[in-house]
Structure 1
Amino acid sequence: MEGDKTTTTMMCTLLAMDLTTFSYRVCSLCERTLPEDPTSLCSFCNFNARSKRLFRILMSLASDTKVFTVICFDRAAKVLFGCSADEFFDFAKLHPFTADTTSRILEGEMVKVTLSKPKNGNAHLRMSQVFPLRTGFRPAIETLKEFYGVRSGC
């Protein structure tokens, strides 16, 4: 991103995704980050609230002039994945190699993205919006269900 602009929109190709840690746990009430320990409770809202997962995916994108790394958070990732991070996590537990297969499914997709600078200035660009450009685009979960022979549910 150039100059002092905080956001920019551009056409890119999705090159790769790091799905080793594609999500993180948050409190379902206040959405503050929780440790990965499933028994941990939220210390901020003081409720025994359930946790949920949100997407946080490190991606490599290529524009017409450069290759760069961005972080794709929940709202944008749901467009590409077609399900929630909880649904994807549960699907991946039941089906081996889901993360690798997903990366291959989405590799090479042309997308229009809106990128924003991080507030702290020293982290990766954030992908705040993504629009697949291919007419026949299908979210990754649809292809995964077909591949693994899953009929209903994620």
Structure 2
Amino acid sequence: MEELCTIVAMDSSNVSYTICTTCEKTLVTGSTCNSTNDNDVPPFCKFCQDFKTAAAAAFITSSSSRFKRLYRLLLSIAYGNKVVVVICFDKAARVLFGCSADEFFDFEKVNPFAALNAGKILEGEMFQMKLCEPKNGNAQHLRAVSVVPLRSGFRPVIDTLRKLYRVGHSSHQVPQSRSHSPFQTS
């Protein structure tokens, strides 16, 4: 079903998950996916790690040393006279964020409140969303499988965050403050 929706809120506690670089199965970790320590997650699932250490390792490139992240956003949306929680996976979430989950994770490592601010940026934005029932019988929430911004001036989250943090596209460094401390002498 296609609906005109307004984003009410976004859960910023966990916006991505990791997958095996070879088979793209979800990697299970003891820590959250927003951990800033990439060493917490191995780049391969157990099957592919065993396969890699076996003689057939030629199929797995040596450049696959880091796992891959995909978006999994939990959004509260309003449509019609309802407010519901939906899950927005990687393809649709990229429309909202304007970058890959890996890029956003790297940005968030040096800008710790980026996910929280992303939620604030998206609040009140209106979209045409295609919502589907989950295919997995254990899943609880509708899926937002396509997202089209309705506001002509919509900018992806990463663009707004880069402006907010005064960060260029190639550098993720926060600039030095231009304001003077009241305790400094000029």
- The alignment's TM-score, normalised by the length of structure 2, stands at 0.74
| Alignment match, 1:96 | 112
- Return the alpha-carbon distance in structure 1 between the equivalents of residues 21 and 43 of structure 2: 13
- The alignment's TM-score, normalised by the length of structure 1, stands at 0.89
- Return the alpha-carbon distance in structure 2 between the equivalents of residues 9 and 124 of structure 1: 16
State the shift of 1:99 in Å. 1.1
State the shift of 1:96 in Å. 2.6
* Structure 1 gap ranges (5+): 1-7
State the shift of 1:29 in Å. 2.2
RMSD over aligned Cα atoms: 1.5
User: Is 1:20 aligned to 2:13, yes or no?
Assistant: yes
| Alignment match, 1:5 | none
- Return the alpha-carbon distance in structure 1 between the equivalents of residues 89 and 156 of structure 2: 16
| Alignment match, 1:4 | none
Output the amino acid matched with 1:30: C
| Alignment match, 1:127 | 144
Deviates more, 1:114-123 or 1:73-82: 114-123
| Alignment match, 1:3 | none
User: Is 1:146 aligned to 2:163, yes or no?
Assistant: yes
Secondary structure at the residue paired with 1:44? helix
- Return the alpha-carbon distance in structure 1 between the equivalents of residues 10 and 43 of structure 2: 28
* Structure 2 gap ranges (5+): 30-39, 53-59, 173-186
Determine what percentage of the aligned residue pairs are the same residue.
53
Provide runs of 4+ in structure 1 moved above 3 Å: 47-50
Alignment of 1:109-120 (within 5 A): 109-120=125-136
State the shift of 1:40 in Å. 5.6
Larger radius of gyration: 2
